[in-house]
Structures are given as structure tokens and as C-alpha cells.
């Protein structure tokens, strides 16, 4: 047999993971039945996929369907594999690669607690204003801000709050929907 392959250092090497890792948002439309979330989550953990956020709620009471939005990272091949594996689950009706759709809207809501005083307090109020964050709760020593937006915006706000007394963050995970008249 020919021996024209270069010796490789690794045993099960990179061929399956060509390309750079990137983020993907997957919307998974599922039958709303007992255990469906466990199936989706179990698949992701059993196969060792990354999962950054996951949100779920019933979205169509009549059709008994829920929408699960998953933010994951991986090479394009890995993302294809995740989609195919999710598509194999019996209660999964559709898997939509939202990040591939040019007309997708993405939103997340976060609650952010900062504890500060003096200049920091003023600066955090000023930034909140710029980011259109709302103070849900105010004491002499603290704020709880509510902010909605794409993840980048929320991440940026959190970064800015860090030196200003950021204490606690609670986030919903990503939601997504198409623009325009078309629907999933």
C-alpha cells in the first residue's frame, strides 16, 4: 500500500474539526411533552457539545409546541452535527439555525445588581441611561438594572459595570425570531 501520508502527532486528529469555532444560535421547535427538555439537554451533554445558554417555554398552546433556543459554539462541521443529532430526536419538529438567517432578531434580558456610591454611582446611572437600562430597584447603596438587547450589548454593559461595583448578574439566555412576515 502507499505510504504517502505524512506522519501525524495526534491519534484522532483534527480532520473532523476543520475550520474555526464560532457561535451558533439554534431554535428547536419541539412537542411539548414530559421529558423533552431532558432529551435535548441529555443529548448535548452526552455528546460533549458546548452550550452557552438555553431557554425554553411553551410557545404554541394549541399545537402543544415549545421553542428551545440554544446558543452553542463549534466548528461549522460540529454545528452541522449538533443540528443533525437534534433533528433525530422524535419530539423535535424543526431545527432552525438562526445565526445563519440574515433576518433573525436576537434578544436577551438581564438583571444586574451594582453596589456603589459617589462617582461610581453617578457613572453607573449615566451608562445605564446610554444603554437604555432601567433601574428596577434603587437603594442608597445599590441598583438593580434591567437591560434587554443582543448579547453583545449586554456583555458590554456588564463589562462597564465591573469596575463600578458589579455584584450579581441574572440572564434569561437568548431568544430569537425572524423579522418580517415569514415565520418558522
Residues that bind other proteins (CB under 8 A): 1-5, 8, 10-16, 18, 31, 34-35, 38-39, 42-43, 46, 77, 80-81, 83-97, 100-101, 184
Cβ-proximal residues to 139 (8 Å cutoff; 6+ apart), any chain: none
* In the complex, least distance from residue 40 CB atom to other proteins, rounded to whole angstroms: 11
* In the complex, least distance from residue 18 CB atom to other proteins, rounded to whole angstroms: 7
Q: Are 33 and 40 in contact (CB under 8 A)?
A: no
CB nearer to other proteins: pick between 19 and 163 = 19
| Cell (9 digits) for 181 | 412576515
* In the complex, least distance from residue 53 CB atom to other proteins, rounded to whole angstroms: 20
* In the complex, least distance from residue 131 CB atom to other proteins, rounded to whole angstroms: 32
CB nearer to other proteins: pick between 36 and 144 = 36
Question: Facing residues of 92 across strands?
Answer: 30
How would you write 73-102 as a 3-class SS string?
EECHHHHHHHHHHHHHCCCEEEEEEHHHCC
CB nearer to other proteins: pick between 12 and 162 = 12
CA distances from 174 to 27, 51, 81, 105, 150 (A): 10, 12, 21, 10, 8
Stated length of the chain: 184
Amino acid at each position: 500500500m502507499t505510504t504517502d501520508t505524512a506522519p501525524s502527532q495526534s491519534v484522532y486528529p483534527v480532520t473532523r474539526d476543520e475550520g474555526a469555532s464560532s457561535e451558533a444560535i439554534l431554535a428547536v421547535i419541539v412537542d411539548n411533552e414530559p421529558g423533552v427538555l431532558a432529551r435535548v439537554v441529555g443529548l448535548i451533554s452526552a455528546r460533549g457539545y458546548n452550550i452557552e445558554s438555553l431557554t425554553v417555554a411553551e410557545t404554541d398552546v394549541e399545537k402543544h409546541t415549545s421553542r428551545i433556543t440554544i446558543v452553542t459554539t463549534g466548528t461549522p462541521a460540529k454545528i452541522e452535527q449538533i443540528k443533525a443529532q437534534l433533528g433525530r430526536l422524535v419530539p423535535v419538529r424543526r431545527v432552525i439555525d438562526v445565526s445563519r438567517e440574515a433576518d433573525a432578531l436576537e434578544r436577551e434580558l438581564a438583571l444586574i445588581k451594582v453596589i456603589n456610591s459617589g462617582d461610581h454611582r453617578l457613572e453607573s446611572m449615566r451608562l445605564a441611561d446610554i444603554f437604555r437600562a432601567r433601574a428596577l430597584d434603587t437603594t442608597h447603596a445599590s441598583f438593580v438594572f434591567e437591560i434587554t438587547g443582543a448579547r453583545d450589548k449586554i456583555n458590554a454593559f456588564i463589562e462597564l459595570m465591573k469596575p463600578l461595583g458589579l455584584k450579581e448578574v441574572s440572564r434569561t439566555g437568548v431568544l430569537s425570531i425572524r423579522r418580517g412576515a415569514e415565520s418558522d
